[in-house]
Chain A
Amino acid sequence: MTAAFARRTAPVAALGADADALAAACHAMARRFHRGGRLLAMGTGAAAADAAHVVVEFVHPVIMGKRALSAFGLPDGGSAATVALFGGAEDIALAFSPDGASPRLADALAEAARRGMLTVALLGGGADGSGGTMARAPGLDHAIVVPSTDTRVVREAHVTAYHVLWELVHVFLDAPEVLT
């Protein structure tokens, strides 16, 4: 039992080391929302739950007084085709891939980048904790990589990461002078 919890410590702590990258991603996301952009969330398998969760965070904030922001999950969990169907140049593409090895979501992010969207990926996996092939997806603006190949542990760190993403986007939106 102690071992099961201990396995989670380092990968989650790595998020703290990645705090500057998270802040930069949130700042870029807030700029898109400020310009009227929407968040398009993508994830399949267990990560489909995270895509759905991040949408409800933005649309129906748990903290009173925070305004609703436009966010929705792409109907097929995300693909180049649905990004092309729904994505506008002001929008944000946010993809979850706990093993960092989804060619389909890599294509979806590449399509989003081609359309001028901001691209953000929450990743894990890769032999050396590098976030797998998706970390090298063409045109990827922000990658938050959890250095673990255990996709369940990666998911747990992702939940913290997107809670922070949501909160920090609102911090930046409350300071519009830093968004121009």
Chain B
Amino acid sequence: MTTESLYPFLHAGSADRAELLADVARSTREKVAEIERLRAEVLAAEAEALAGCATAMAERFARGGRLYAFGNGGSSTDALAVASLCLDPGSGRRPLPAVALPGDVATLTALANDVGFDVVFARPLAAAGRPEDIAFGLSTSGGSANVLRGLAAAHERGMLTVGLAGYSGGEMAEAAERGELDHLFVMPSASVHRIQEAQTTVYQVLWELVQSRL
């Protein structure tokens, strides 16, 4: 949707402050309704798969496995949030070992500078990953090369691989079809913002389900 269709008043010429405020408030309510619809769609499509993924993740944690989360940009902050959620879950919940790879700035910048950005997640996973571990990759497009290579390196080492993507899943969906990705959750939207919001719900619900299984 273009700015013009969302805010017709803005493009009609000189904007009136009160009308523009009313316009953007209406647009905000539409966005809230849109994310609600997207969450409902994800629930309808993925309820069983989420339960299965949580069971598999809990099984790895029970075997002493660690979770490695990774992504770029906004998704890198989601990786940080996943790790924070696992490490510091609040009272009455079990802390779980999790690492956000984008938080290791020394390794990330060393690899990006010396080798290339495509390997920044694959290399640390190849070095540290064990079969009881979990790789958790986030990419709104499903096509981030370094996330795909990270998941591939994790799969080669026998790790459980979980991917979160948007749109139609992109190359992540192709990796899942080839059997190289154990669990893939696609947020069926073309808005990067709504995709990220739905992904936040998916990883937090997954975490809740994992907690309930441990």
Cα-based distance from A156 to B42 in the complex (angstroms): 15
- Given A5-B205, A8-B201, A178-B20, does the pair A163, B193 have CB atoms closer than 8 Å? yes
Determine if B77 and A50 form an interchain contact, defined as CB atoms under 8 angstroms apart. yes
A85 at the interface (CB under 8 A from B): no
Determine if B84 and A49 form an interchain contact, defined as CB atoms under 8 angstroms apart. yes
Q: Which among B26, B29, B80, B201 is the interface contact of A49 at CB below 8 angstroms?
A: B80
Q: Can you name the residue of chain A whose Cβ is closest to the Cβ of B26?
A: A19
- Residues of chain A touching chain B, judged by Cβ–Cβ distance below 8 Å, are 1-2, 4-5, 8-9, 12-13, 15-16, 19-20, 22-24, 26-27, 45-46, 48-50, 52-53, 56-57, 60, 62, 151-152, 155-156, 159-160, 163-164, 167-168, 171-172, 174-175, 177-178
Cα-based distance from A48 to B193 in the complex (angstroms): 18
Within the complex, the shortest CB–CB distance from A69 to chain B, in Å, comes to 16
- Given A156-B201, A160-B35, does the pair A175, B43 have CB atoms closer than 8 Å? no
Within the complex, the shortest CB–CB distance from A42 to chain B, in Å, comes to 14
Determine if B73 and A168 form an interchain contact, defined as CB atoms under 8 angstroms apart. no
Determine if A23 and B28 form an interchain contact, defined as CB atoms under 8 angstroms apart. yes
Q: B1-43 CB contact bits vs A (8 Å, 1 = yes)?
A: 0010011001000111100110011111101110110011001
Q: Can you name the residue of chain B whose Cβ is closest to the Cβ of A55?
A: B77
Determine if A16 and B29 form an interchain contact, defined as CB atoms under 8 angstroms apart. yes
Measured between beta carbons, the chain A residues less than 8 angstroms from B21 are 20, 23-24, 27
Determine if A16 and B77 form an interchain contact, defined as CB atoms under 8 angstroms apart. no
Within the complex, the shortest CB–CB distance from B133 to chain A, in Å, comes to 22
The majority secondary structure among interface residues of chain B is helix
Measured between beta carbons, the chain A residues less than 8 angstroms from B25 are 19-20, 22-23
Within the complex, the shortest CB–CB distance from B26 to chain A, in Å, comes to 7
Q: B28-67 CB contact bits vs A (8 Å, 1 = yes)?
A: 1101110110011001000100110000000000000000
Q: Which chain B residues numbered 54 to 96 have a C-beta less than 8 Å away from chain A? A: 73-74, 76-78, 80-81, 84-85, 88, 90
Cα-based distance from A139 to B178 in the complex (angstroms): 57
Cα-based distance from A57 to B193 in the complex (angstroms): 10
- Given A23-B24, A159-B196, does the pair A12, B36 have CB atoms closer than 8 Å? yes
Cα-based distance from A56 to B73 in the complex (angstroms): 7
Q: Which among B31, B50, B88 is the interface contact of A1 at CB below 8 angstroms?
A: B50
Within the complex, the shortest CB–CB distance from B77 to chain A, in Å, comes to 4
